[in-house]
Amino acid sequence: MISSFTLRILLLLIVISGAIAYIGNRVGKYIGKRRLTLFGLRPRYTAIMITVVSGILIALGTVGAMLALSANARTALLGLDRLQQEIDRRTVELGAANKLLAETQRQQQQLGEQLSASQKEAAQLQKAKQQLSAEIRNAREGELIFKKGEIISLSLIQSGPDKGKINEGLRRIINNADDSLRSLGIRTARPLVNVGDEEFNETAYTLLGESRTFVVKLVSDNNVLWGEPVPAVFELLENKLIYRAGAEIVSGEVAGSLTQPQAEQAVMKLLKSSHQAAREAGIIPDPAGSIGSIPFAQISDTARRLRTQGRKAALRIVAQSDTYTIGPLAVDLRVNSR
């Protein structure tokens, strides 16, 4: 819609233009009738000049009225150069701002790409960590900790007429074996070592009677992987006296011409024979497979004593104390000259 101010301007311009045109027309006719001349021109050219001047006055009047009545018109006509300069300055500023915006967007894109790469790398690290954890878990869970028939624990129990005490002793053996497995790092709320009721009751029944001492071997009834429950059975052996203190287990001759290392090797070979003889005599190895051990200093000292003989000497390995089925075997090394 046209505002009232615009209508007033239009009306004023129409009036001014009409008035100037009318006056110019009247002056032109007057000069034409009177055949007056201006500036030495012919009447016809004088009339033309007046018409031209009238048009100029109309234009000037129109412009003057617009300048007098409208600040926007004054700004457009009188401040055009300044407005153009301002436009140019703002255009330059806008160009710089657009350039800065483009650079900022480029940096944001780079940061986004870097963030994406970092997130991808972190995801890969997390995946590798999870894979490694799974491999470690699978390796541990796939580890065979017992073979079928392997000894889990060795214990002593007293037979007798009290079934309650026998049951309590067997349960203690199972619980101790369970605790020993948990000490290796197996974490589970369920029992690890399981002995069936029939097996338990049959073993308890066997132990009822006169008072004797038995070795209880708790044996794995199956191949068992890390963390799995261990099905187990009992094996009973009477804990008999195998060697009395001082009893000879094995003996052999050692040459006196041997070097110290050779003499030590000869002593260790005879010790190995004594362990084999003890096994055959009935001594049970512990779950690690050992029957007994001897300090290397004692082996080295025995080897020196053998070499000081200067000739063949007899080496006897004897029981250090009374040794029973459950072991362990403790020995003395005795050197006798020939």
The domain ranges of the chain are 4-78, 146-239, 242-337
Radius of gyration of the chain (CA): 60
Residue 141 CA, chain-centre distance (Å), reads 20
pLDDT < 70: residue spans in the chain: 1-10, 12-13, 20-21, 24-25, 27-44, 46-47, 54-55, 58-59, 61-63, 65-81, 83, 128, 131-142, 337-338
Helices (H) and strands (E) in the chain, counts: 8, 11
CA 310, chain centre distance (Å) = 67
The CA distances from residue 162 to 40, 202, 310, in Å, are: 163, 15, 62
Count Cβ atoms below 10 Å from residue 177 Cβ, excluding itself: 20
Alpha helix locations (H) across the chain? 4-34, 43-69, 71-78, 80-141, 163-182, 197-207, 260-281, 296-308
Measured in whole angstroms, how far is the alpha carbon of residue 55 from the centre of its chain? 92
Say how far apart CA 41 and CA 291 lie, in whole Å. 152
| Euclidean distance between CA atoms 268 and 270, whole angstroms | 5
DSSP state, residue 226: T
Q: Would you state the pLDDT for residue 188? A: 83
pTM of the model: 0.54
pLDDT digits (tens, 9 = 90+) for 161-195: 999 999 999 999 999 999 999 998 888 888 999 99
pLDDT tens-digit series, residues 62-120: 667 666 666 666 665 566 667 677 777 888 888 888 888 888 888 888 877 777 777 77
Q: What angle do CA 191, 197, 202 make, to 5 degrees?
A: 130
CB atoms within 10 A of CB 157: 23
- Give the model's pLDDT for residue 90: 82
Q: Distance between alpha carbon 286 and the CA centroid of its chain, in Å?
A: 41
Longest dimension (CA), the chain: 181
Half-sphere exposure of 119 (CA within 13 A, CB side): 6
d(CA 309, CA 283): 33
- Under a CB-based contact definition with an 8 Å cutoff, are residues 272 and 292 in contact? no
- Residue 245: predicted pLDDT: 95
Please say whether the beta carbons of 218 and 151 come within 8 A.
yes
Q: Are 158 and 169 in contact (CB under 8 A)?
A: yes
- Main-chain dihedrals φ then ψ at residue 68, nearest 5 degrees: -75, -30
Q: What is the pLDDT of residue 80?
A: 60
Residue 205, CA atoms < 13 Å, CB-side half-sphere: 6
Q: How far apart are CA 330 and CA 285, in angstroms?
A: 13
| Residue where the block lists tokens 């009247």 | 26
